[in-house]
Structure 1
Amino acid sequence: MKLPGPARTLRFRLFLLAASGLLPLALVAGVVLAYVTGERERDMQDTALAVSRALSTAVEAELNATIGVLQSVALAEELQSGDLPRFHALARRVGGSQGWRAMVLSDTGGRVVLNSAVPLEAVRPQPVEQESMRRALATRQPVVGTVAEGPQRQGPAFAVRVPVMKGDELVHILSAVVPAERILAVVQRQRLPPTSVIAIFDQSGTRVARSMLHTSPRPSPSLQALLAKGLPEGVGPTHTLEGVRSVTGYVRLPESQWVVATGISVEEANRGFYQVLAAVAAGLLASLGLAAFVAWYFSRDVTAPIDALKAAAGALGRGEPVHLAPLGIAELRDVAQALEQASADRDRAAQERETLLARATEALRRAEEAGRSKDEFLAMLGHELRNPLAPMATALHLMARRGDPGTRAEREVMERQVAHMKRLVDDLLDVSRITGKRLEMRMQPLRIADLVRHASQSVQPVLGLRRLAVEVDEHARNLWVSGDEVRLGQVLNNLLGNAIKFTGPEGTITLRLRRAADGHAEISVLDTGFGMPPEVLEHVFDLFYQAPQGADRSRGGLGLGLAIVRSLVEMHGGSVHAESGGDGRGSVFTLRLPTITPPVALGDHGEAGAAGTGQGRVLLVDDNQDAADTASALLEISGYEVKVAYDPGIALTILDQFRPQVAVLDIGLPGMSGYELATRLRGHRNGANCYLVALTGYGTSADVANALEAGFDQHLVKPAPPTPCWTRSAGACRTGPDA
């Protein structure tokens, strides 16, 4: 085990220990700074709002003073008597003294009848800003208008309007046109930092006055969002038109609805606060520096022993002997003793590991030998069992071809038992290939409805009195899957054979194909047979599992068929499951296969043999005389000219007088293997163009590869089908180990 690296040395830990004393101070400083920051922000908000309130009072006083002067003029004798020339002179004197642009008199229709800024006869009939005129006429109260540009283009100004009454009757509206500079003068009397801004806006949001000049007459977007809340007053973060981050407080004048806003620069306000932060940070850094010095000072006496321990740990990791001089620190001395003990333990463990590795290697070698022995045994078992089955099956086919009615019943019994024996051998070898992951699949597009039809036809001879119903849903007739035709046929045959085995003589079996909701092809085999209890249903697909049976084992087997079904279906990307209502209620086996897009067109299978489908000459070589004679007889009945040889040397002699079109050769021949005989046949003048068929009890992948490498055109496993493979399409023959 490695010691920690330099990042976890004692010096570093001492530094952490010293620095940890600063942690409470840093936490307290952080809390205080957070509190001060919050208080500073609240102070800025309070200041901005206080300045806006004070300024709003000054602006409101200015507006009220203007209203008071107008109301006094409205009571003048010149106006009350209707002497407009004399009132025009009065208006000019009063307006000039107040610094107004003009004093305007309008009738109750809102039309201007007098303007002190122009001669009496040159009055324009309409006011420049009409909204405030309408409000004054409607409310009969003093009104402050919005900022507008006059016709003389003298700069922005606003109107202050008061009603002129005679008794209870409204006779005129008297207005003062006040330049915006009057309000700007009020703003400029306030003393703020250069980066802070005071602005006043009328009811429409147009700027009346601003402490800093800017081309935009409107508030900044952030200030507009703050004012849009419509509150009498408020405060919040904003950015000025110049882009300065600020805290802005505003007050809305209740009568005129003007807004007075004060923005205080955050950066300017926090300038002193940043200095405090810098001082605190400098203090913390100085304290950390002191902690580092203390850690270095006190670690000097222990770094040398620790370096020695590091060197010892490195030697331990490299497998070298560990020797340490006595150390002066008790704790480090204990570590040194532990390292020396670990070195001794390492040496003992290495010796034990070598011993265990040798044992494991020997056990693995024995397991591999056992696996090879098992494979060789199964291959030999299949060969030895298939060799006697081949003549038996051929003899039965001969009997069937000759049509002896007296032995039909016995022949059918033997046919069923031979088929059962072949099925047991195939299942046993299939399980070996599946568990050893050596089973080869030949995937191709297949119409699943054709497989269902072929499977139903293949079990007709063994149905007896049982009824087989085939149901293909209309939507499933053109479902295609990617699969191995022979293996999927084996799956359906196993399921149907299982249903036949467990269904009474007069029962019903249903083979059903439909398209599932998710697009999968779903094939179900339903029977009215014995059914299965739950404890059997749970293990029905397990390898070598058999349901409890009577002493006669009338429905016995190896317990392989359904296990092979599940493995083959899963190798096709599908699934299979079983259902049953219990004893006497039948069973349902359902398999699901993923579908593919139907192919556009399928190519035709070529002819596999050189002899075609007509009569031809066949050379048959097999040292099993029964197998050779029965196969010869079957071929002769089929119309072939057959020459039989029980020895490979005799076969070569026959070639001098006989030119075969097809040669069927056993592989395990005496004195010369079938592979060697095939090579000799190819080199003979009468066998150069011969179609070679390997007929053997060996059916592994290696056997197939050896046959094809030796020049064979087909590889058949005993017992072969009664119809010669070379007379059928290539799709009907299997040259692999799974034929």
Structure 2
Amino acid sequence: MSQLPPNALATGIPSAGPGARTRARPLRMRLLLLTASGLLPLVLLMAWGIQHLIDERQLLAQRSVLDLSRALASTVDAELRSTAVLLDQMSASDDLERGDFRSFYLSARRTVEQLGWRQLIVSDSEGRVLLRTAEPFGMTDPAPVDPKSMARMVARLGPVVTEVMQTPQAPSETFAVRIPVLRSDKLVYVLTAELPADKMLGVLARQSIPAGSIASVRDQSLRQVARSIKAATPFPSPSMRALFDRGTSEGVGRTTTSEGVESYTGFTRVADWGWYVVVGTSVDGANAILYDLLRAVALGLAASLALSALLAWVLSRRVLAPIDELKDAAASLGRGDPVAVPELNILELDEVAVALKDAAAERDRAAAEREQLTARISEALRAAEDANRSKDQFLAMLGHELRNPLAPISTAVQIMAMKGDEKTARERRIIERQLVHVTRLVDDLLDVSRITSKRLTITMQPVQIAVVLTQVVETIQSSLYQRFLALELADGAEDAWVTGDEVRLVQVFNNLLVNAIKFTPAGGSIRVKAAVVDGALRIDISDSGIGMSSDDLRRVFDLFYQAPQTLDRARGGLGLGLPIVRSLVEMHGGQVSATSEGIDKGSCITVVLPLCETPATAAPQPAGALATGAGKVLVVDDNEDAADTCATLLEMSGYTVQTVYDPKSALEAVREFAADVAILDIGLPGMTGYELAARMREAGYRGRLVALTGYGQTSDIAMAQRAGFDAHLTKPVAPDALLDVVKGLSALRSSADNPS
């Protein structure tokens, strides 16, 4: 058995041993026959020849129109010059010499009629008209005629031709030829022959103007005097005017006529008179012969291409069949099917076939790895989703569990205050401050959870920012501890309004001030400055505290980030305040940034909010005192401390209260105690507050329901509404807020029982 070449198995190329087929020919050898019949050299040669013909044709057309304009300019010059000669002969009249204007008038009228002029005008040296042949003798208006051309004639003391003009005596456009009448080299009279513009049209009509060409005569201002084809406008097109603006006495170029026809245009200026003779011929007309040549060339080229295509088809049949095999193999590769390619007998195509087989094997390996990776990613996503749900559930439960003990603590402190025990005032204030701190930490944790999961909603309405800032500053005064706090409202800021959620804006500025107090030592100062800048409201909260490094400035708004602190963590915190501020400001369409000159040089937090229009002024609501009332209230809470302190607060405010600690006792109390308002905890043992509310309604309870719970997310409030609760309060609730709700619902209950 003969041995194969070393790479025969790897490449799939058949060996050249005994009995083997003829060695495959490279594809380039087969394609060489196609390229040999290529027409590229011929096409390039023809393109060069055609371009040369086009250039020659353009030069010939331009030379032709320029030569014709020169010839016509000579004819126009001769016509005008003959008129000037006639006027010069008339100036030698004995009648004019003697000043016999009547006799001169009669002979001049005969001359005008014979020559087809409009009229002859005799003026004195000042330009005043002495006679007009178009008017009766002696009735001529002496007003000067065309001072512009008169001045030009006086300056040169020779004949001039005027621009085209419209005169009251003539129904159509005219022009005039003027000559001076000199006696002893002194200007005595001026003779003016006024001719119809159509006279120049007759001059053009007598010339041999080629078909497809247009000739025109234009005056010194380029206004049309005559044109072999009537034009829509007497003025030249912009492209033709650009040709005249070159300032030469003659010229040629490519222009567009007023009819929109692209033309080769040549002009010649009649030197003595300042008029122009213009000749144009259309580009299409000039290139008509060239187009015929191009069509012939195109037909020849098409025939050559057809012959080449036939030859290519014949030669490529032996190439296309193996390529089709490769196409089928590539399609199988794309569909994920097995790839099978026979021997193609073409070296390059056999190499492609081997590459396709290798790609199929690699595809199968990659698909298996991809399936494994997809499975791992899916599992990781499920784990992440489970962890996220667990995190939300944990935070909700954490908020509930923390708020439950906070509620009785808060209520107990308020009861102590209501009892007026001054001996415990200092301890009570300490408890209040720490209670506010813990409550803020709980709220921040829940806010961060809602923000990161995009479940935080805000209610947008016009807010007067000065009121919000004043409220926050007044509230924070008790927490300053020997620090100086100042609020500055620049011009315009006091009356500035923004669109936002007032509660969340209070949270923003409260967080910023608490943060400033935290990092400003006793004796330091904090300033809040609001100003209207570039159509937006800018609030700067600056302090003289410990400042920030450049690294702190880059990360200060990152979630859970805290600047390096000492081991005692005197400044505490969870690193949530500023991230919450940034999220809330951006939800209001604003921006927040931090600046600092360095450590121990203070910091400044800047909030920029878009302004809105000032709303209609509403009458301010007077602040009420702590709500009091009379009625029956049922308090249900498994946290006995929370239930008892809540009941004590209500009783001190004049309500009759019954307290129970489980759902079963609550259902028994409903039958015996006709409460106007029932305050239910949601997280009760054995039965949720939502279920208890439904059971109470079934048992005949017709009073109002209040949910007082540690669950304070938006979904919890919506669930309470669906369960039939009239109000939802989140622990710890301020005593006045609780009493206001109870009072309002008691009043509604009373009005329902006793309709007027």
Structure 1 counterpart SS, 2:671: coil
Change (3 A) 1:328 1:623: same
**1:710 and 2:727 are equivalent in the alignment:** no
Out of 45-54 and 553-562, give the one that drifted further. Answer: 45-54
Distance of aligned partners of 1:195 and 1:398 in 2 relative to their CA distance in 1, 3 Å threshold: closer
1:371 counterpart SS class:
helix
Q: Which amino acid aligns with 1:591?
A: V
Task: Name the CA distance, whole Å, in 1 between partners of 2:186 and 2:608.
Answer: 99
1:619 match = 634
Q: Work out whether residues 632 and 657 of structure 2, in 8 Å CA contact, stay in contact via their aligned partners in 1.
A: yes
**For residue 297 of structure 1, what is the aligned residue in structure 2?**
314
1:420 to 434, 437, 456: 437
Cα deviation, 1:410-453, whole Å, max 9, x if unaligned, reads 23222222322222222222222222222232333333233223
Cα deviation for residue 193 of structure 1 reads 4.2
In 1, distance between residues paired with 2:725 and 2:505?
Answer: 27
Give the structure 1 partner of residue 514 of structure 2.
Answer: 497
How do 1:269-668 residues align onto structure 2 when only pairs under 5 Å count? 269-473=286-490, 475-512=492-529, 514-600=530-616, 613-668=628-683
Q: Contact conserved, 2:84 with 2:177, CA < 8 A, in 1?
A: no
SS in 1 for 2:533: coil
Match of residue 706, structure 2, among 693, 713, 721 = 693
Question: Does the aligned pair in 2 maintain the 1:197–1:264 contact within 8 Å?
Answer: yes
Which stretch of the first structure deviates more once superposed, 584-593 or 186-195?
Answer: 186-195
Partner of 1:693, secondary structure, is strand
Of residues 729, 735, 744 in structure 2, which corresponds to 1:722? 735
SS of 1:588's partner is strand
Aligned equivalents of 2:729 and 2:342: distance in 1? 79
- Structure 1 residue 301 displacement after superposition: 0.9
Deviation at 1:659, TM superposition (A): 1.5
- Contact residue 239 and residue 245 of structure 1 kept, 8 A: yes
CA contact (8 A) 1:137 1:163 kept: no
Give the match for residue 115 of structure 1: none
Task: Report the Cα distance in structure 2 between the residues aligned to 1:243 and 1:470, rounded to whole angstroms.
Answer: 73
Q: Is the 8 A contact 2:162 2:175 kept in 1?
A: no
Range with greater deviation from structure 2 (167-176 or 635-644):
167-176
Answer with 1 or 2: which has the greater Rg: 1
Q: Is the 8 A contact 1:141 1:163 kept in 2?
A: no
What residue ranges of structure 2 are gaps of 5+ in the alignment?
Answer: 1-26, 126-135, 745-756
Distance apart, 1:381 and its partner CA? 2.2
Whole-Å Cα distance in 1 between the matches of residues 402 and 189 of structure 2? Answer: 131
Hey, what's the Cα distance between the residues in 2 that align with 1:179 and 1:677? 112
Residue 367 to residue 19, structure 1, CA distance change in 2 (3 Å): farther
How far apart, CA to CA, are the structure 2 residues paired with 1:457 and 1:107? 101
Distance in 1, Cα, partners of 2:301 & 2:137: 77
Answer whether contact 1:581 1:587 (CA < 8 A) is retained: yes
1:337-386, CA deviations, whole angstroms, 9 ceiling, x for partnerless residues? 33333333333333332222222222222222222222222222222222
Q: Distance in 2 between matches of 1:619 and 1:516?
A: 52
Query: What amino acid sits opposite 2:692 in the alignment?
Result: L
Among all aligned residue pairs of Structure 1 and Structure 2, give the percentage whose two residues are the same amino acid.
50
| Cα contact 2:490–2:532 (8 A) shared by 1 | no
- Offset from partner CA, 1:610-639 (integer Å, 9 cap, x none): x98422222111222222222222222222
1:593 aligns to what SS in structure 2? Answer: strand
CA contact (8 A) 2:508 2:585 kept: yes
> Cα offset for 1:300?
0.9
- Give 3-state SS (helix, strand or coil) of 1:458's partner: helix
1:125 CA drift (Å): 13
Question: 2:693 aligned with 1:678, yes or no?
Answer: yes
Q: Name the amino acid aligned to 2:646.
A: A
Paired AA for residue 712 in structure 1: F
Instruction: Judge conservation of contact 1:100–1:178 (CA < 8 Å) in 2.
Output: no
- Show CA shifts across 1:440-493 (max 9, x none): 323333332332232233224333444443334452333333322322222222
Deviation string 1:111-140 (CA, Å, 9 cap, x unpaired) is xxxxxxxxxxx99999xxx99999999989
Distance 1:640 1:163, change over 3 A: closer
For 2:461 and 2:190, the matched residues in 1 are separated by 101
Confirm or deny: 8 A CA contact 1:606 1:729 kept in the other structure: no
Distance in structure 2 (CA, Å) of the matches to 1:474 and 1:172: 81
The residue type paired with residue 713 of structure 1 is D
Match of 1:118 in 2: none
Amino acid in structure 1 at the alignment position of 2:641: D
Q: 1:191 to 1:650 in 2, by over 3 A?
A: closer
1:172-192 deviation digits (Å, cap 9, x = unpaired) = 999999999999999899766
SS at match of 1:516: strand
What 5-or-longer segments of structure 1 have no aligned partner? 1-9, 111-121, 732-739
Greater shift in the superposed pair: 264-273 or 27-36: 264-273
Deviations 1:472-530 (A, max 9, x none): 44523333333223222222222222223233344443344x34223333333333444
> What code does the residue aligned with 1:521 have?
L
Q: Which amino acid aligns with 1:568?
A: L
Q: Which residue of structure 2 aligns with residue 40 of structure 1?
A: 57
**Change in 2 beyond 3 A, CA 1:493/1:289:** same
Give yes or no for contact 2:75–2:203 (8 Å, CA) kept in 1.
yes
1:49-73 Cα deviation digits (max 9, x unpaired): 4455567668878999999999999
1:75 to partner: Cα distance: 12
Alpha-carbon distance in 2 for matches of 1:106, 1:554: 112
Measure the CA separation in 2 of the matches of 1:511 and 1:159: 88
Give the letter for the 1:631 counterpart.
C
Residue identity matched to 1:719: P
- Tell me, in whole angstroms, the C-alpha distance in 1 between the residues paired with 2:432 and 2:681: 23
State the Cα distance separating 1:693 from its structure 2 match: 1.6
- Superposition pairs for residues 80-91 of structure 1, below 5 Å? none
Structure 1 position 679, deviation (Å) = 1.5
Q: TM-score, normalization: structure 2?
A: 0.73
Q: Decide whether aligned partners of structure 1 residues 275 and 612 sit closer, same or farther in structure 2, where only a CA change above 3 A counts.
A: same
> CA separation of 1:14/1:462 partners in 2, compared to 1, >3 Å: closer, same or farther?
same
Change (3 A) 1:260 1:394: closer
Q: 1:409 to 1:329 in 2, by over 3 A?
A: same
One-letter amino acid of the structure 1 residue matched with residue 576 of structure 2 = L
Does structure 2 retain, via aligned residues, the 8 Å contact 1:618–1:642?
yes
AA of the residue aligned to 2:415: L
Contact 1:232 1:252 (8 Å CA) reproduced:
yes
Does 329-338 or 470-479 show the bigger shift? 470-479
